[in-house]
């Protein structure tokens, strides 16, 4: 997965082009989705035009970008971010943890996991713990690395080619 904070600082025009290419859209397709001219998209990508706050929002919606990435585009265009990006307090964190635990428990008797944005296992329910123990999953907490590395879990997947294609499509987004 590629996130804006791991990309080189290329400014708004570079971020726009990166996201357009990532979504496999031509400038024309993006212009139709965002409701602006292809020429304006071209000018924004080359830095010949500066975006308005509204056009950044339109482009973010058309590109189906996460809110944090739209904030990064707003900042790179010289605008304030929409969200304050504050850390969660203890009360909010506890409520989220309880909700995640409730969802994982509700999936029993089927395995269920909670991962973060870089595929690190955060929580598992009891059936998932038994599943990973049965396959001697190892000490690596990163599920993506565990799936892509040859080993007991990967060899147990009967339709590995289909799973690998789905994983790569997911990572491409």
Segment 81-107, tens digit of pLDDT? 887 656 778 898 899 999 999 999 999
Residue with tokens 């996130």: 3
Q: Kindly state the tokens that stand for 12.
A: 């708004």
* Residue 6 in this model has a pLDDT that exceeds 50: no
Find the Cα–Cα–Cα–Cα dihedral 150, 152, 155, 160, rounded to 10°: -70
Burial-class residue 34 by CB neighbours within 10 Å (0-12, 13-18, 19+). Answer: buried
Whole-number pLDDT of residue 88: 77
Are the beta carbons of 81 and 69 closer than 8 angstroms? Answer: no
Tell me the whole-structure pTM to 2 decimals: 0.51
Q: What share of the chain is helix, strand, coil (3-state, %, to 5)?
A: 60, 5, 35
Whole-number pLDDT of residue 2: 41
């Amino acid at each position: 997965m590629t996130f804006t904070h791991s990309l080189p600082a290329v400014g708004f025009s570079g971020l726009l082009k990166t996201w357009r290419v990532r979504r496999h859209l031509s400038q024309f397709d993006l212009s139709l989705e965002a409701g602006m001219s292809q020429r304006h998209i071209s000018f924004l990508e080359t830095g010949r035009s500066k975006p308005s706050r509204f056009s950044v929002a339109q482009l973010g919606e058309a590109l189906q970008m996460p809110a944090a990435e739209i904030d990064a585009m707003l900042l790179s265009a010289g605008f304030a971010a929409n969200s304050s990006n504050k850390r969660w307090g203890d009360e909010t964190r506890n409520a989220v943890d309880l909700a995640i635990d409730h969802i994982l428990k509700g999936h029993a008797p089927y395995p269920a996991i909670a991962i973060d944005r870089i595929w690190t296992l955060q929580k598992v329910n009891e059936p998932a713990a038994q599943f990973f123990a049965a396959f001697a999953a190892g000490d690596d907490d990163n599920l993506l690395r565990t799936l892509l590395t040859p080993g007991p879990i990967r060899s147990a997947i009967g339709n590995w080619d289909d799973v690998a294609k789905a994983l790569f499509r997911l990572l491409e987004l």
